[in-house]
């Protein structure tokens, strides 16, 4: 079944359809969905080490407790990788972190130092590491969108990569070029990826909605959270 939403302002440029035109039309439609909702944000060209999503719709479900300094610390990949292995109650040793990340000792020590100095983590008397009880991450649901004009296979591949940080992922194509993707709808269904099109009048047709996934890379999800919070404060 196809569900439709009519966009009334920005139409798709059909004289020379470009991905930027497609992304603008999608952004216009999504803006109506987040309008008036202070905890929902649209982020363009968001890179969480899984490729650069054209648009990410971030829905903050619960508020966290992070300072601006802490947000900036988690933006760094190595810091996010180390933090992703730590817990509030179960201590982790340096050797455990080294084994799990495969990072060099100096890199891990630098990350632990920054995380500790920003009060994201704490060090036990025996030298093991825990997340600081005062540090609280928000819960954020991410919808990532990949816009492509023709190559649905490439779009699907990239949308799957976004599941490293996002719970939901979509492929967006022009209505006039959607048929090859529709003939292979099973591929989207099998991978839990959503598919929608936008026509020359800005109408959005949803052919299949994405399944909810647990982000496969916690470190990338942490970077997504920090980028969302950083964008919301700027």
From the list 15, 48, 2, 102, the residue with the least C-alpha distance to 230 is 48
Can you read off the two tokens belonging to residue 115? 């995380």
Reply yes or no on whether the pLDDT at 192 is more than 90.
Answer: yes
- Mean pLDDT (the chain) is 91
List, in order, residues 6 or more apart from 29 with CB less than 8 Å away.
5, 7, 198, 202, 204
For residue range 19-31, list pLDDT tens digits in order.
889 999 999 999 9
Fold observed for domain 68-136: Arc Repressor Mutant, subunit A (1.10.10)
pLDDT surpasses 60 at 11: no
Angle between helices 94-101 and 105-117 (to 10 degrees): 120
CB neighbours of 103 closer than 8 A, spacing ≥ 6? Answer: 78, 81, 82, 97, 111
pLDDT score, position 6:
39
pLDDT at 1 over 80: no
Q: How far is CA 185 from CA 1, 9, 151, 182, 195, in A?
A: 12, 30, 14, 5, 8
> Quick one: pLDDT at residue 17?
58
Would you identify the CATH topology of the domain 3-62+144-208?
Trna Endonuclease; Chain: A, domain 1 (3.40.1350)
Where are the chain's structural domains? 3-62+144-208, 68-136
pLDDT for res 157? 97
As a residue count, the chain comes to: 234
Q: Is 229 helix (H, G, I), strand (E, B) or coil?
A: helix
Closest to 180 (Cα-Cα) out of 160, 161, 156, 202: 156
Residue 143 pLDDT: 98
Helix (H, G, I), strand (E, B) or coil at 131: strand
Angle CA 152–156–160, to nearest 5: 170
Give the global pTM: 0.88
pLDDT in the model for residue 15: 41
The tens digit of pLDDT for each residue in 32-70 reads 999 888 889 999 999 888 789 999 999 999 888 899 999
CA distance 14 to 201: 9
pLDDT at 12: 55
pLDDT above 80 (res 165):
yes
pLDDT tens digits, one per residue of 90-139: 999 999 999 999 999 999 999 999 999 999 999 999 999 999 999 999 99
> Token match 């996010």: residue?
80
DSSP structural state of residue 42:
E
């Amino acid at each position: 079944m196809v569900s439709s939403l009519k966009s009334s302002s920005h139409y798709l440029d059909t004289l020379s359809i470009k991905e930027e035109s497609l992304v603008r039309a999608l952004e216009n439609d999504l803006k109506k969905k987040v309008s008036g909702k202070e905890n929902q944000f649209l982020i363009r060209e968001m890179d969480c080490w899984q490729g650069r999503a054209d648009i990410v719709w971030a829905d903050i479900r619960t508020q966290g407790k992070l300072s601006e300094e802490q947000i900036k610390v988690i933006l760094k990949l190595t810091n996010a990788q180390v933090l992703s292995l730590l817990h509030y109650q179960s201590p982790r040793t340096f050797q455990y972190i080294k084994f799990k990340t495969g990072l060099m000792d100096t890199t891990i020590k630098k990350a632990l130092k920054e995380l500790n100095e920003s009060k994201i983590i704490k060090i036990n008397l025996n030298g093991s590491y825990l997340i600081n009880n005062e540090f609280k991450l928000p819960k954020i649901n991410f919808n990532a969108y990949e816009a492509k004009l023709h190559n649905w296979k490439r779009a699907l591949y990239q949308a799957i990569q976004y599941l490293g940080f996002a719970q939901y992922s979509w492929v967006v194509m022009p209505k006039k070029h959607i048929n090859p993707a529709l003939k292979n709808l099973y591929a989207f269904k099998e991978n839990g990826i959503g598919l929608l099109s936008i026509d020359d009048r800005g109408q959005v047709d949803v052919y299949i909605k994405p399944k909810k996934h647990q982000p496969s890379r916690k470190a990338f999800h942490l970077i997504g959270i920090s980028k969302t919070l950083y964008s919301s404060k700027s």
